[in-house]
Amino acid sequence: MSIRIRIAAALLAGALSVAPLAAQAQSTTIQVPAAKKWKHVGTGVIVPQALAGLPRTGITDSTAGEFDVSIQFGNPESTQLTIYLFRPALASVPVWFDRAETQILDRDIFGHAAPVSDPIAFAPPGTTTASALRRVYVPEKRTFTATGAAMVPLGEWLVAARLSSTSLDPAALDAKLLEALAALGWPAPVAGAAPDAIAAPIQPCTTPAGFSAKAKVKKPDMGAALLGALLANAADDPDIKKTPVEGPQGLCREGKPGAETATYRTLGDGKGYVIALGDAGRTISVYPEFVLDKGEPGYAVTFNDLATSYVYPSFDRLPEPGKAFEMVRKSRPISSSTRGSKALTIHTP
């Protein structure tokens, strides 16, 4: 999954001149001696010198704070494994597994990769709830005999694995994928933590979306900027307990997923949606805004990076995803909040 798309950095850097997205696109190498283990501070995961017989060959961080770390194992000419440790804006195994799968199915090096089974829900090492997803595929281009992906929850974080081989058959690759995950040094479960939801793959939406082609951007004000930042901060606060949702995290996929973006709608009320940007954890969320007075609520738009949430002017009606994306791409945020911090920033024109 070296093709992890940094669409947030690539398409939004110009619009978000207040955010260091351009810097995030430049990966830095984490220097670790080959004979030493390495511990990821954010998750507590300990990465050994080798996994499933594949030696570790490199560790890189695409952010400034180890929010998106890639660890390479093996040889790209034979069998190659990549482990990703990232803190997504939306902690959803089904969504990010869906995005990872889209990259596999669209990747030129594989041709039209064919799944060998439905996505498999399984329990992460040391747990009993089937909260993770994995799947193996047979590439049309026979340079590779099999490729596979897994997505595993770990608190606010996700552990993703991508394994490709020029010699292993699908069954052997699936076994090696599980072997590699089991060989990671997983942290002890947090006492009193809510159990993860049972994972199920995202399904296409079956009801009309209710998008309005007439949606217009509302004039922003100081109150909206402050309230939006406060709500974004609360949504990212790990101390605020959140009830797990069974099945596909309460979301369905709107339309055909693209390599760059995919839209996921809220099941049931259908009053909001999330645009997943690439497959590296960044999102644009569009949901009914909270109003303090008796005014008519609109729809709040927030770009969620891995460390910061940026609030944009609201729409008066539920906008089409393309309109929300273009507004974020071309406009400046009105406020922002840093994940894990109580600090809020109001951006003046």
Q: Other C-beta atoms within 10 Å of 121: how many?
A: 17
Amino acid making up residue 294: K
Give the span between the Cα atoms of 162 and 146, in whole angstroms: 11
Nearest residue to 97 (alpha-carbon basis) of 301, 242, 206, 249: 249
Residues 177 and 38 in one domain: yes
Is 207 part of any domain? Answer: no
Residues 139 and 276 in one domain: no
Give the span between the Cα atoms of 325 and 330, in whole angstroms: 9
Residues 156 and 238 in one domain: no
pLDDT of residue 128: 92
Token duo for residue 315: 């729409």
Residues 301 and 164 in one domain: no
Is 327 part of any domain? Answer: yes
| Contact in structure between 287 and 271 (CB atoms under 8 Å) | yes
**Per-residue pLDDT tens over the stretch 235-274:** 544 443 444 433 334 899 999 998 899 999 988 766 889 9
**Per-residue pLDDT tens over the stretch 156-196:** 999 999 999 999 999 999 999 999 999 999 999 888 888 88
Is 81 part of any domain? Answer: yes
Domain that holds residue 287: 222-346
pLDDT of residue 141: 82
Residues 70 and 140 in one domain: yes
Q: Phi, psi (5° rounding) for residue 299?
A: -125, 115
pLDDT of residue 345: 67
Is 165 part of any domain? Answer: yes
Is 339 part of any domain? Answer: yes
Residues 88 and 142 in one domain: yes
Give the span between the Cα atoms of 35 and 64, in whole angstroms: 25
Please state, in angstroms and as integers, the Cα–Cα distance from residue 144 to each residue in 2, 19, 120, 161, following that order.
15, 39, 22, 17
Among the candidates 153, 183, 213, a domain finishes at 183
Is 243 part of any domain? Answer: yes
Residues 309 and 243 in one domain: yes
Among the candidates 131, 164, 183, a domain finishes at 183
Is 148 part of any domain? Answer: yes
Residues 251 and 310 in one domain: yes
Is 51 part of any domain? Answer: yes
Angle at 206 between CA 205 and CA 208, to 5 degrees: 90
Residues 169 and 286 in one domain: no
The position carrying tokens 């497959």 is 279
Give the count of domains, the chain. Answer: 2
Per-residue pLDDT 10s for the chain (349 aa) are: 444 544 545 544 544 444 433 334 578 999 999 999 999 999 999 999 999 999 999 999 999 899 999 999 999 899 999 999 999 999 999 999 999 999 999 887 888 899 999 999 999 999 999 999 999 999 988 789 999 999 999 999 999 999 999 999 999 999 999 999 999 999 998 888 888 899 999 999 998 888 999 999 988 765 555 555 555 554 544 443 444 433 334 899 999 998 899 999 988 766 889 999 999 899 999 998 876 666 678 899 999 999 888 989 999 999 999 999 999 998 888 888 888 766 666 665 5
Give the span between the Cα atoms of 243 and 3, in whole angstroms: 33
Residues 149 and 227 in one domain: no
Residues 179 and 226 in one domain: no
Tell me, what CATH number does 133's domain have? 2.60.120
**For the whole model, what pTM was predicted?**
0.87
Nearest residue to 61 (alpha-carbon basis) of 40, 80, 35: 40
Among the candidates 120, 154, 183, a domain finishes at 183
Residues 271 and 174 in one domain: no
